[in-house]
Amino acid sequence: MTCPVKAVTVLEAKEVARVLEDHDGFVILSHREPDGDSVGSQLALCSVLRRLGKRAWAVGEDPMPAIYRFLEGSVRLELPSAVSDPQVFVVVDASNIGRVGGLEALKSCAADILNIDHHGSNTGFGRWDYVDPEASACSEQVYWIVQELGVDLTDEEAACLYVGLLTDTGAFRFPNTTSRCMKIAADLVDRGFSAAEVARKVFWEKTLESTRLLGLALSTLEVRCNGQIAIMHVSREMSREARATSSDSDGFPLYTKVIAGVKVGLLFREQDDGGVRVSLRSDSGVNVEKVARVFGGGGHPTSAGCVSPGTLENAKKDVVGEVERLLEREVRQLGKGNGRDSGSR
Ligand SMILES: [Mn+2]
């Protein structure tokens, strides 16, 4: 069952540009546990608004992940305390308001929400909603807004949006890699930054701790369900052994999907504060977001996440069981000849 998007008028980039022009005092927020698309969208939009003479802050509750710090030039990710007298909360790349970091600290401010997102499961929580599940990344939507504002992107801003596209498409490998997104990427590269340099900083500057932890995690890789499901885990003990922090395992979910024949990849990470964070990956055709929802999570059809309160073993048993049921349903549906899931891209 797909959760229906609130029945409101969903704005186009052009109308979003008008909202931005008509207001001042923007706090640009995103989901907790920032990623390339969330910080890229936040920093680029904040920079453009400031160049238009607006007051704007890119605000986060969690620190900027080390691999994206090079994007902080004229604009940095700030704490909610930096904000004064905001008019609009611009929320980027978050499917629901509960995922937004820093909002709790700003709850005394009476500001309207402008919701810019590309998750099909977006709950439409804004006064204005610009939701486009066809967009490969939220950075793509920010790109269209900037076009409508008639502003030329600087190479610094272009690099931020490029990182959003690069990371949300898994370096232009995932099913959301459209020709439209590649045309935007080409236009961004034309602004002057080095695409090779950006890719090196994002993918080839891992910490030693992260690389050691990957070695430990890969040794736990196993397949289930006739090789259709691959599972891997990172225990607290392994993190300790590698002296790794939680962000050191950020790129790991990808490795659950590299084996031929695997339809669904699952990574289980024991959290410091208890519980197990589960990352689900699939190719188009198997909608893992449905599984994440069963456990109170969400995401995209091919990339989703949830948190299981139990032990590592229980989390594996519960989530793998749910994925097996999903695969069985798919086989039955294919048998009936009605093809693929409507929720998939
Ligand atoms: Mn995104």
Residues 58 and 189 both lie in one domain = yes
Enclosing domain of residue 59: 13-203
Identify residues whose C-beta is under 5 A from ligand 1, the ion.
37, 93, 137-138, 168
pLDDT digits (tens, 9 = 90+) for 27-64: 999 999 899 999 999 999 999 999 999 999 999 999 99
Tell me how far the alpha carbon of residue 231 lies from the centroid of ligand 1, in angstroms.
24
Residues 58 and 91 both lie in one domain = yes
pLDDT band at 312 (very low <50, low <70, confident <90, very high): very high
pLDDT digits (tens, 9 = 90+) for 77-118: 999 999 999 999 999 999 999 989 999 999 899 899 999 999
Residues 280 and 161 both lie in one domain = no
Tell me how far the alpha carbon of residue 93 lies from the centroid of ligand 1, in angstroms.
5
**Angle (CA) 267 166 26, round 5°:** 100
Q: What is the pTM of this model?
A: 0.88
Which CATH number belongs to the domain containing residue 196 in this structure? 3.90.1640.10
pLDDT digits (tens, 9 = 90+) for 248-304: 998 899 999 999 999 999 999 999 888 999 999 998 689 999 999 999 999 999 999
Residues 60 and 191 both lie in one domain = yes
pLDDT digits (tens, 9 = 90+) for 221-245: 999 999 999 999 999 999 999 999 8
Beta strands 264-270 and 229-234: pairing type?
A: parallel
Residue among 10, 219, 207, 234 nearest 120 (CA):
10
Tell me how far the alpha carbon of residue 335 lies from the centroid of ligand 1, in angstroms.
34
Residues 247 and 163 both lie in one domain = no
Q: What is the DSSP string of 182-230?
A: HHHHHHHHTTS--HHHHHHHHHS---HHHHHHHHHHHTT-EEETTTTEE
pLDDT digits (tens, 9 = 90+) for 108-152: 998 999 999 999 999 999 999 999 999 999 999 999 999 999 999
- Asked if the structure places residue 5 within a domain, the reply is no
**For residue 6, pLDDT beyond 70:** no
